[in-house]
Amino acid sequence: MKYKSLGNTGLYVSELTLGTMTFDKEGGSNTGVIGTTGQELATKMVNLSLDAGINIFDTANVYSSGESEIMLGKALGDKRKDVLIATKLYSTITTGPNDLGTSRLAIMREVEASLKRLGTDYIDLYQVHQFDATTPLEETMKALDDLVRQGKVRYIGLSNFSAWQIAKADGLAKLLGTEKFCSVQAYYSLVGRELEREIIPASMDLGLGTLIWSPLAGGFLSGKITRTSEASGRRVNFDFPPVEKEQGFNIVDKLMEIAESKNASVAQIALAWLLHKQGVTSVIVGARKEEQLIDNLGAADIVLNDDEMKLLDDASVLKPEYPQYTQTLQRGETIFGQVENLK
């Protein structure tokens, strides 16, 4: 297992993170959608991850209506001091008029609830799950800064922000003298490369680390979904994130080709591709079954050569968009299959 610094901090995280969205009691809120592990399997998954060298575990206040945090805390037990816990706030389990979002009131309430459920007195990485358009960002930044000063939170991160929102938050922190966000959690996969347009460049320019969620696109890149097979697993009831199917099947074809040559699984190759991409700090893997997790952990040992990376890059390339294609034309590069030269 390799370790990378999380942005411009002295905090080192494993290149794989265990995601705990599937941690739920049997018959819980995840049943039939995400899948449930039960406490025994959740604990086994945590131990397997620790044995593989994973040192960071990702959850959220709303995963399994709070049960994910409870089960993660129990699974870690006295090992908690040796690992990093990342959790999130924005959405809530309750529906009061002041419950949703990242107001000072919501932040102070949610951090206490998460600490209690996790059975810990501090959170290593506290992440804002969504951009809150109804709360001044200054209010959010100041409240999060207070949590760091109080010792309840070590570092702060954000998730699912647009690039301009990331830049605004970074600028405000500098202006106000508050704690800065050190990480971005975002969706990235071979069938979802949109963050390469602006989010990855913004993160790298501002010195933020990245934690990648749904690297297998909700199971689309697991190897079980092909042109000739029907959707399985989570995508049967929750077809998310959205995938352009025809290009997606072409990508799966290439993954299968490389996987066969390396005696690896399709999922391992899809994860390994991400681990080779510039700007990626850690990839979040999660599973409903023990064998799925063991397979995913094996991606850390996969090495892809330049030709294999190019094969996957070409199959999954983004369509040119404004204003990126004007910059491409000015460099005299290929766009829409033709070379244009601006003079």
C-alpha 193/C-alpha 196 separation (Å) is 6
The radius of gyration computed from the CA coordinates of the chain, to the nearest angstrom, equals 20
Cα→Cα distances 67→30, 74, 84, 118, 223, Å: 10, 11, 18, 9, 30
C-alpha 316/C-alpha 319 separation (Å) is 9
Cα→Cα distances 142→97, 109, 176, 327, Å: 22, 15, 8, 38
SS3 at position 272: helix
Backbone angles phi, psi at 166, to 5 degrees: -60, -45
- Catalytic (active-site) positions: 63
Residue 95 makes CB contacts below 8 A (sequence gap 6+) with: none
Q: Which two tokens stand for residue 14?
A: 């494993």
The three-point CA angle 40-221-84 to 5° equals: 45
> What b/e string do you get for 28-44 counting C-beta neighbours within 10 Å, with b at 16 or more?
bbbeeebbbbebebbbe
